[in-house]
């Protein structure tokens, strides 16, 4: 199926574009009443993730309702630890919870499995990708994704969200061998999982390292970037984006990886990052998600001001992190329309 709108792929590859492409992290989700309606008819988040027809439906909602230039498959980064043998619950209004966590080398055998068939355990994701593409009929590209090994490690050790992930960071000091063993296992599975998504029809991939920013520079090189680099090297089928939230010191290292796009959070200065990266990579981001709480005029002004700071065409427009659930979808539309009407 050929793509009618391939703007984001051209932007990722550094090819000619007529305007900047725009999408939002976490666009497929709670900001849309239409999403909440689908979700309310089900037992919970996991049922939605594991039912390919419904996952496809909510994946397409932001394309129809917001006019974004890409869809992102509706799933979660936590399906990977689950497939490895560590099941999670999504606790309403609280977030993920893993009843069992990784504490020892023995746990790895049972709860950090590597040798399994991806289609067997994560076939509901690849099936959702196939259905989504059929229904999108080439309107926009579909982004596949996974969590970065460090972020998945955080959840597998900590068992839930945390401000500091001190349990996860503790292991880096008390048992670095266990840490590396687990990170390598996650990496191996993630590479196979991402390749399965491409085979199913994902046109682009993004790796989310949401907790990159809680490690110091030296530790992030050793326990974070080393494994992301393996992933970037393994994927050559489609453009790949690396988003290491909070790790502005790592952007220079990421720019040396064979990736197409580097995600920026809103703390990062686009101008400074462009100086570091040069013209060899596309930058994605990075309006503060909270900017969408301001008035329509202000959203327009702030978005234009961000666009004016771009000194290159190698940009994909996004927020600096996922859209917050209580943002008014009309503000998102103003953001998107401002980007679409901006003359390059
Ligand atoms: O639109 C999209 O981006 C696609 C779907 C998507 C979800 N999660 C759906 C979701 C994506 C790409 C993710 C990634 C994800 N999941 C990350 C990395 C991105 C980031 O935000 O840093 C992380 C850290 C997770 C783990 C996770 N999933 C948490 C911490 C939570 C609870 C907090 C929250 O944001 O709600 C989730 C739940 C989750 N994942 C929801 C959605 C739509 C909300 C569930 C619901 O109530 O419907």
pLDDT digit string, tens, across residues 29-39: 899 999 999 99
* Annotation: CATH topology of 7-341: TIM Barrel (3.20.20)
* Ligand 1 geometric centre to CA of 187 (Å): 20
Q: Measured from the CB, is residue 213 less than 6 Å from ligand 1?
A: no
Closest ligand 1 atom number to CA of residue 145: 12
Helical segments of the chain, H only? 7-13, 33-40, 45-50, 52-66, 79-84, 105-111, 118-136, 149-158, 166-174, 176-200, 217-219, 226-234, 251-254, 270-277, 296-308, 329-341
What pLDDT sits at residue 219? Answer: 97
Domain residue limits, the chain: 7-341
Distance, CA of 169 to chain centre: 22
In angstroms, rounded to a whole number, what is the distance separating the alpha carbons of residues 336 and 331?
A: 9
What pLDDT sits at residue 334? Answer: 98
What pLDDT sits at residue 12? Answer: 98
What pLDDT sits at residue 159? Answer: 98
Mark 146-156 as b/e (b = at least 16 C-beta within 10 Å): bbbbbbbbbbb
Q: What is the pTM of this model?
A: 0.97
CA–CA–CA angle 76, 198, 317 (5° rounding): 65
In angstroms, rounded to a whole number, what is the distance separating the alpha carbons of residues 76 and 53?
A: 16
Low-confidence ranges of the chain (pLDDT < 50): none
Closest ligand 1 atom number to CA of residue 27: 1
76 flagged as catalytic: yes
30 flagged as catalytic: yes
Q: Name the residue at shortest CA distance from atom 11 of ligand 1.
A: 76
The pLDDT tens digits of the residues spanning 245-267 come to 999 999 999 999 999 999 999 99
How many CA within 13 A on the CB side of residue 213?
15
Q: Name the residue at shortest CA distance from atom 4 of ligand 1.
A: 74
Tell me the two tokens of residue 331: 């503000």
Bridge partners (DSSP) of residue 128 are none
């Amino acid at each position: 199926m050929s793509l009618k709108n391939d703007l984001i792929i051209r932007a990722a590859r550094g090819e000619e574009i007529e305007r900047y492409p725009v999408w939002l992290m976490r666009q497929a989700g709670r900001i849309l009443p239409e999403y909440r309606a689908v979700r309310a008819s089900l037992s919970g988040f996991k049922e939605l993730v594991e039912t390919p027809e419904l996952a496809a439906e909510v994946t397409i909602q932001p394309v129809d309702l917001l006019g974004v230039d890409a869809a992102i498959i509706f799933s979660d980064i936590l399906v990977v630890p689950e497939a490895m043998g560590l099941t999670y619950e999504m606790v309403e209004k609280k977030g993920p919870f893993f009843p069992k966590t990784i504490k020892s080398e023995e746990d790895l055998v049972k709860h950090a499995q590597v040798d399994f068939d991806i289609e067997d355990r994560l076939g509901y994701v690849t099936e959702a990708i196939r259905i989504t593409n059929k229904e999108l009929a080439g309107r926009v590209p579909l982004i596949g994704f996974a969590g970065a090994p460090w972020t998945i490690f955080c959840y597998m050790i900590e068992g839930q969200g945390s401000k500091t992930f001190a349990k996860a960071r503790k292991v880096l000091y008390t048992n670095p061998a266990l840490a590396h063993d687990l990170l390598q296992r996650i990496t191996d599975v993630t590479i196979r999982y991402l390749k399965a998504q491409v085979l199913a029809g994902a046109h682009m991939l993004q790796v989310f390292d949401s907790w990159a920013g809680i490690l110091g520079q030296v530790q992030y090189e050793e326990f974070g970037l080393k494994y992301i680099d393996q992933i970037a090297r393994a994927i050559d089928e489609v453009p790949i984006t690396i988003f290491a939230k909070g790790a502005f010191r790592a952007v220079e290292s990421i720019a040396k990886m064979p990736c197409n796009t580097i995600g920026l959070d809103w703390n990062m200065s686009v101008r400074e990052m462009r100086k570091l990266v040069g013209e060899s990579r596309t930058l994605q981001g990075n309006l503060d998600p909270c900017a969408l709480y301001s008035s329509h005029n202000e959203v327009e002004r702030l978005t234009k001001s961000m666009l004016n700071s771009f000194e290159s065409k190698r940009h994909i427009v996004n927020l600096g992190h996922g859209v917050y659930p209580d943002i008014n979808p009309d503000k998102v539309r103003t953001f998107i329309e401002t980007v679409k009407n901006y003359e390059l």
